A and B are shown apart, each in its own frame.
Chain A
Amino acid sequence: MSGLTLQNVTKEFGTFTAVKNVDLTVPHGTFVCLLGPSGCGKTTLMRMIAGLDLPTDGAIRLDGADITRVPTHKRDLGMVFQSLALFPHLTVGENIAYSLRIRGVGKEDQKKRVDELLSMIHLSGYADRPVAKLSGGQRQRVAIARALAISPKLFLLDEPLSALDAKLREAMQVELRQLQQRLGITTIVVTHDQREAMTMADTVVVMNSGEIRQAAAPVEIYRRPADTFVADFIGMTNLIDFSADSAGRATVLGTVVENLAVPAGLSRGVLSVRPEDVHLTAPGHGAIDAKVTFVRDLGGTIETFVEGGGKQIVAVSMPNARPDVSVGQDVGIKLSSDACVVLKS
């Protein structure tokens, strides 16, 4: 099979398990984001894919060949480090040409390829500058160009944009995604920023404590989270306990939610409801009773915080559907069954 396959990959540091039984398939040409909180093992997993760390257990295959024990320099990959790791003693052009020089490519061809890459990253004419003289965003691009110089089979980036300011980061996310689609290169990006992952990835892999919690398309991760961790980590959500009777009818905060299908045998669990799916109505008429505690009007969206049954719930609405409520007012909450995701607690 073409692409990257991880089988049961595990990494232990002494008694601490940093990566636990990871199975993952990355088809050729796709863009995958490893997403998770700091310390969840993203970098460790990426370093094993790059060959910089050896897995304690498991196998890594690239285009069908087992590369678990192939040394890094024979893997034909391109990697962008969090610190970028540009060589301070080389110019921009020499940095980009490094992998070509190591492989004995002729001077003429090196120069041609460097010019090509420099124009790709919009830095034509920068070849002879020292890297220390570049801005953060420019260095970022040079690191990307250096990693792509040999047209690698696999393009790895560890938190590549974390050092940039917010505006530049958003622009680079789009640019990186467009570049990847143009080159059709299999790409894995580590990030702890879910917005970044949603912007770029074909597949988002959510990790926690060294394990994969869910691997799916961004929209599916958002709409159909696999567990409470994923639901909570990706975007804002309301996690509300429910109990179900033997007929599968779910009761939330003392009120029955109509048409909600609870799997048989599940007597209690958690509902994940996105704030934009929480609708405020007048109290009564089968709605959950609640009281408005705070209204945050951000201009583009309005977040209304309400308290119902001792639980804080957030509703988000657009300005054209601005709820007509004020702090202290009694309201009702309507949860539509198709917006609720039933999760085990």
Chain B
Amino acid sequence: MRREAPQRLADYGPLLFPAGMLIVFFVIPFATMIAVSFFQRDPAGFYSTAFVFDNYARFLSLFFGKVLGFSLFLAVTVAICCVVIAVPFTYLLSRARRRTQVLWLVALLSVLSLSEVIIGFAWSTLFSRTAGITNLLVAIGLMSEPVALNPSFGAVLTAMVYQALPYTVLVLYPALVRLDPTLTEAARTLGASPVKSFFTVVVPALRNTIVATLIMVFIFALGSYLLPQILGRPQHWTLSVLITDQAIYQSNMPFAAAMAVFLVLVTLGLVGLTLIATRKGEAA
């Protein structure tokens, strides 16, 4: 089904509303943020209009570089974990009976209704020494005494994967349902075991969807600022944590804005690189 490209100005009419929303709620705030990032902090109150690069200059230190590096590393790790878990899971789900599918999707949707705070505190309880899952392991004799699993990198990672996984599954689900099931059957008649046919047919055929999902989860994880604070040590804090800290507790809006702009630029750069890399791979 191909639609004709819009011919007259009036054909763009249906776009007016979303375009307006996008301008009011995205373009204007973002432009404001860029402007503020060049302003000067006023120690007495808020900030004063100016055009200085101090905020960006301050950012170029080893400390912030490390935090930025860790934020990106954490987001990439979360994205990879989510996709590695979600692709096989969603594939099996899309081949399951209708009832099973509905039950799982409802369960996943209900995870989406949990706020980041609830997820954070729930996992911090589960990872605690007094009431955590290690008590279960002790009870069945796998461990000799309960230990605290947080704060730690593993705890942050687990909770963030838990939070992002439903999105990952829901984004992958339509593509996997649409994937012709006879493709894997054909692979099997041609001599591929079910596992081999998954890796030689399902994954490559969904390559673009998988890349798009990786990018989505990566960006989603980059914005996380509560879970690293609840479940991590200070060295596990992300740039988003520092931005929140500067904006809300230090009242340094210009510096917070500068960091946010920087984060957006780095993110865009990485996404662009990923797209170029996959385009190249396709041509080869």
A contact set with B: CB distance below 8 Å: 50-52, 71-73, 75-79, 81, 83, 85, 87-90, 98-99, 102-103, 146-147, 149-150, 156
Q: Is B205 an interface residue when CB atoms closer than 8 A count as contact?
A: yes
Nearest CB of chain A from residue B235's CB, rounded to whole Å: 42
Report how far A102 CA is from B193 CA in the complex, Å.
9
Query: Considering only CB atoms, which chain B residue lies closest to A81 in the complex?
Result: B182
Q: Is B129 an interface residue when CB atoms closer than 8 A count as contact?
A: no
| B183-212 contacts to A (CB < 8 Å) | 183, 185-194, 196-197, 200-201, 204-205, 207
Interface size on B, residues (CB 8 A): 20
Q: Is B180 an interface residue when CB atoms closer than 8 A count as contact?
A: yes
Give the contacting residue for B186; candidates A79, A149, A150; CB below 8 A.
A79
Q: Could you list some 5 contacts between A and B, CB below 8 A? A: A52-B189, A75-B189, A85-B180, A88-B205, A89-B205
Chain A residues with Cβ below 8 Å from B205 are 87-89
Nearest CB of chain B from residue A121's CB, rounded to whole Å: 17
Give the contacting residue for B188; candidates A52, A146, A150, A156; CB below 8 A.
A52
Q: Are B185 and A102 in contact (CB under 8 A)?
A: no
Q: Are B193 and A73 in contact (CB under 8 A)?
A: yes
Q: A89-B205, A89-B207, A102-B196 are in contact. Are A81 and B186 (CB under 8 A)?
A: yes
Q: Are A72 and B200 in contact (CB under 8 A)?
A: no
Chain A residues with Cβ below 8 Å from B200 are 98, 102
Query: Considering only CB atoms, which chain B residue lies closest to A158 in the complex?
Result: B182
Q: Are A72 and B188 in contact (CB under 8 A)?
A: yes
Report how far A76 CA is from B189 CA in the complex, Å.
8
3 tightest CB-CB pairs across the interface, nearest first? A85-B186, A99-B190, A79-B189
Q: Which of B190, B191, B201 has the most CB of A within 10 A?
A: B190
Give the contacting residue for A72; candidates B180, B189, B207; CB below 8 A.
B189
Q: A73-B191, A103-B191 are in contact. Are A87 and B196 (CB under 8 A)?
A: no
Report how far A78 CA is from B189 CA in the complex, Å.
6
Q: Are B201 and A99 in contact (CB under 8 A)?
A: no
Q: Are B182 and A98 in contact (CB under 8 A)?
A: no
Query: Considering only CB atoms, which chain A residue lies closest to B184 in the complex?
Result: A85
Query: Considering only CB atoms, which chain A residue lies closest to B205 in the complex?
Result: A89
Q: Are A150 and B182 in contact (CB under 8 A)?
A: no
Number of A-B contacts (CB under 8 A): 67
Query: Considering only CB atoms, which chain B residue lies closest to A152 in the complex?
Result: B189
Q: Are A85 and B183 in contact (CB under 8 A)?
A: yes
Q: Are A98 and B187 in contact (CB under 8 A)?
A: yes
B contact set with A: CB distance below 8 Å: 180, 182-183, 185-194, 196-197, 200-201, 204-205, 207
Chain B residues with Cβ below 8 Å from A75 are 189
Report how far A51 CA is from B186 CA in the complex, Å.
12
Q: Are B185 and A85 in contact (CB under 8 A)?
A: yes
Q: Are A50 and B189 in contact (CB under 8 A)?
A: yes
Give the contacting residue for B191; candidates A52, A85, A89, A99; CB below 8 A.
A99
Given A83-B182, A102-B190, 5 new contacts (CB under 8 A): A52-B189, A79-B186, A98-B192, A150-B190, A156-B189
Report how far A99 CA is from B191 CA in the complex, Å.
6
Q: Are B185 and A87 in contact (CB under 8 A)?
A: no
Q: A83-B180, A102-B196 are in contact. Are A73 and B201 (CB under 8 A)?
A: no
Query: Considering only CB atoms, which chain B residue lies closest to A149 in the complex?
Result: B190
Query: Considering only CB atoms, which chain A residue lies closest to B208 in the complex?
Result: A89
Chain B residues with Cβ below 8 Å from A76 are 191
Q: Are B204 and A89 in contact (CB under 8 A)?
A: yes
Chain A residues with Cβ below 8 Å from B201 are 87
Chain B residues with Cβ below 8 Å from A85 are 180, 182-183, 185-186
Chain A residues with Cβ below 8 Å from B180 are 83, 85
Query: Considering only CB atoms, which chain B residue lies closest to A72 in the complex?
Result: B188
Nearest CB of chain A from residue B219's CB, rounded to whole Å: 26
Report how far A78 CA is from B186 CA in the complex, Å.
9
Nearest CB of chain A from residue B46's CB, rounded to whole Å: 54
Query: Considering only CB atoms, which chain A residue lies closest to B203 in the complex?
Result: A89
Q: Which of A75, A81, A103, A149 has the most CB of B within 10 A?
A: A81
Chain B residues with Cβ below 8 Å from A102 are 187, 190-192, 196, 200
Chain A residues with Cβ below 8 Å from B186 are 79, 81, 85, 87
Nearest CB of chain A from residue B159's CB, rounded to whole Å: 35
Q: Are A77 and B183 in contact (CB under 8 A)?
A: no
Nearest CB of chain B from residue A342's CB, rounded to whole Å: 44
Query: Considering only CB atoms, which chain B residue lies closest to A78 in the complex?
Result: B189
Nearest CB of chain A from residue B193's CB, rounded to whole Å: 5
Q: Are A52 and B190 in contact (CB under 8 A)?
A: no
Chain B residues with Cβ below 8 Å from A79 are 186, 189
Chain B residues with Cβ below 8 Å from A88 are 205
Q: Which of B182, B204, B207 has the most CB of A within 10 A?
A: B182
Q: Are B185 and A98 in contact (CB under 8 A)?
A: no
Report how far A176 CA is from B35 CA in the complex, Å.
71
Nearest CB of chain A from residue B189's CB, rounded to whole Å: 4
Chain B residues with Cβ below 8 Å from A52 are 185, 188-189
Q: Are A150 and B185 in contact (CB under 8 A)?
A: no
Nearest CB of chain A from residue B180's CB, rounded to whole Å: 6
Report how far A87 CA is from B188 CA in the complex, Å.
13
Nearest CB of chain B from residue A322's CB, rounded to whole Å: 50
Give the contacting residue for A150; candidates B191, B192, B196; CB below 8 A.
B191
Q: Are A81 and B185 in contact (CB under 8 A)?
A: yes
Report how far A85 CA is from B187 CA in the complex, Å.
9
Chain A residues with Cβ below 8 Å from B191 are 73, 76, 99, 102-103, 150
